Amino acid sequence: MKKILIIDDSALMRTVLSDIINSDSRFQVVDKAKDGVEGLDLLKKKTYDAVVLDINMPRMDGITMLKELNKAKIKAKIMMASTDTKEGAKVTMDALDLGALDFVHKPDRASECRGEDFTKTFINTLAAVADSKAPVSTKSFSMEDVKETKKVVDLVSKSASKITGNRIVAVASSTGGPRALQAVIPKLPKNLKTPVVLVQHMPEGFTASLAERLDSLSEVKVKEAAEGDILQPGTVYISRGGKHMHIVKNGGKSTIHYMDGPTREGVRPCANFMYESLMESDYDEICCVVMTGMGADGTEGIKNLKTKKKVHVIGQEESTCTVYGMPKAVATAGLVDQVVKLDDIAREIIMNVGVS
């Protein structure tokens, strides 16, 4: 049974979350803390399989506590309980940068937490965090990475003329993704020959903050995809949380189209829909990249896409994944052309699609 620590300043929320966690036989709440000071104190003395951490608390908030854990070199698997305001989304990105592995959007009222949807999401996320590896890479994107990328681009540029045809890059990621994407997207050059479409499993309200964060670090343009966007080379389009993103032909151009509808693989957006929508596209070859995350989203979509299109699949290598679920599923299905360490994914994308 996995031992869980809850850190939340609301006594009611601590009780509600405890009830949810203890209702699943895999978990047991063994300790509770009412702020970061108490939580930090417990983490200095004991180890837990996972920690549920609130962001806004008196004395010491969640972000400060994460910073203190890093300073003290205390490794913990942390899941944030976050509010979905614009500011809340930005702070959640900060928490993921600091080593939190995933988050759930916590409803404002404790009563709403008892609903079936929230309970299911909460338990699934907790399971992924508890089973994950602690953050694989804590280093941020650096000037060294930029130099390394320039070398790769120079290398590829020499053979870029050989890379012909109309191509696109399609990326799927989940738990551990926001941080892993920082080791990929900022290394892509602005003269990348193709557009990049990306599904990161996140609720509505958080994908805009993720896009802003990645855009500020990158040469390529990164945006939350808007309905009707025409796909341009050197631009990364992140699917809006809470909707399924499709790439459709409109007046001879490839454009973004969102659809509502039930979850698939338990998620919305679902990468399978993105991949399948490319079956009818004008692209000659699709470079599919499947990164860290729980479950098997991407596998069925790529399998279907391969019946119609030439596809090159890059799977993230196990030791560099926070959760080796999605890349494992595509590998097990025999769909992967390359297994690549996180730090080398950008290079392989560039080698596959070229620069202009």
Q: Catalytic pick from 82, 132, 173, 174?
A: 174
Looking at residue 49, its amino acid is D
Which residues in the chain are classed under CATH 3.40.50.2300? 2-131
Give the pLDDT confidence of 57-79 residue by residue, as tens digits.
999 999 999 999 999 999 999 99
Phi, psi of 48 (to 5 degrees): -130, 160
Q: Catalytic pick from 82, 102, 145, 201?
A: 201
Q: Catalytic residue at 201?
A: yes
In CATH, the number for domain 2-131 is: 3.40.50.2300
- In a 3-state reduction of DSSP, which class is residue 150? helix
Q: What is the distance between the alpha carbons of residues 340 and 137, in angstroms, rounded to a whole number?
A: 15
Which residues in the chain are classed under CATH 3.40.50.180? 143-353
Give the pairing type, strands 102-105 and 78-82.
parallel
Does CATH number 3.40.50.180 belong to domain 143-353?
A: yes
Q: Catalytic pick from 209, 297, 312, 344?
A: 297
pTM: 0.93
Give the pLDDT confidence of 175-213 residue by residue, as tens digits.
999 999 999 999 999 999 999 999 999 998 899 999 999
Give the pLDDT confidence of 6-35 residue by residue, as tens digits.
999 999 999 999 999 999 999 999 999 999
Question: In this predicted structure, what is the pLDDT of residue 141?
Answer: 58
Average pLDDT over residues 38-53: 97
Q: How far is CA 34 from the centre of its chain?
A: 29
